[in-house]
Amino acid sequence: MDNTDIKMKTNQKQTRIGILLVSLILIFSGHLYAFGVSSAYYFENPLYIPPGEEIEGFITLRNQAGTENISVNAVISDGSEILELTAQSDVYTIPAGGTTIVNYKITIPPDAEIEKVYPINIVFTTITKSESGSFGFGTSIGQKFNVIVGTGPPPPEEELITPWRIGLGIAVVIIIIIIILIRRKKKH
């Protein structure tokens, strides 16, 4: 046997393993859970609430890719001192191709310091149905955002270079060049 035969057998073996893996994925893909979480608030867009105030909000759970209903368990891993899920159960069912709303209430203590940051993290974990002799993989997705005590973000600092100032500067330079060119033509 030469090197070519060995390489061909190795390639054939790798191809068979690849086909087997793809087949297994396709066979068990009906048991995979795929869901998404969305919220109006996230790290780049925190929620501002004044001291002593209470607000209600919601998070949307989506099961757009799934062909079966998905049940998830909601756990507040950060922020339980101010956040409360308002449903009677921590288990939510997301219909296949649909959405489910998770309502919450946030209460800021009246003596909370302005600009205090409360990190919020709600983790949603799929509840897998185990059949005898089988096991399932649970998927977890967290929704994180910050609650900041106050009335809103500080006003942005005024930019020294704004688009209209750049345009004005370009217009002035063009006018000066035109004036210089006109004077040169008059001298000649």
pLDDT tens digit string along 20-33? 555 555 455 444 55
Other beta carbons within 10 angstroms of residue 20's beta carbon come to 10
Query: pLDDT tens-digit profile of 132-188?
Result: 555 555 788 889 999 999 988 766 666 666 777 788 889 999 999 999 888 888 876
Q: pLDDT-based confidence at 52, cuts 50/70/90?
A: very high
- 93: which 2 tokens? 């069912």
Higher pLDDT, residue 98 or 9: 98
Cβ atoms < 10 Å from Cβ of 73:
15
Tokens of 179: 């004036």
- Computed on alpha carbons and rounded to an integer, the radius of gyration of the chain in Å comes to 30
The residue whose two tokens read 């899920």 is 85
Strands in 140-149's sheet, in edge-to-edge order, are 47-49, 140-149, 117-126, 70-78, 91-94
Nearest Cα to 87, choosing from 130, 122, 121, 120?
122
The whole-number pLDDT of residue 31 equals 47
Query: Taking 80 as the threshold, does the pLDDT of residue 2 lie above it?
Result: no
Contacts of 31 (CB under 8 A, 6+ apart): 136
What pLDDT shows up at residue 151?
A: 86
pLDDT of amino acid 166:
82
Question: How far is it between the farthest Cα atoms of the chain?
Answer: 100
Average pLDDT in the 28-54 region? 80
What mean pLDDT do residues 9-30 have? 60
The pLDDT tens digits for 98-140 are 899 999 999 999 999 999 999 999 999 988 765 555 555 578 8
Average pLDDT score over residue span 16-21: 65
What the block records as the tokens of 15 is 């191809």
Query: What does the domain layout of the chain look like in residue ranges?
Result: 1-31, 33-149
Q: Backbone phi, then psi, for 160, in 5-degree steps? A: -75, -35
Q: Does pTM surpass 0.85?
A: no
Query: Superfamily assignment of 33-149 in CATH?
Result: Immunoglobulins (2.60.40.10)
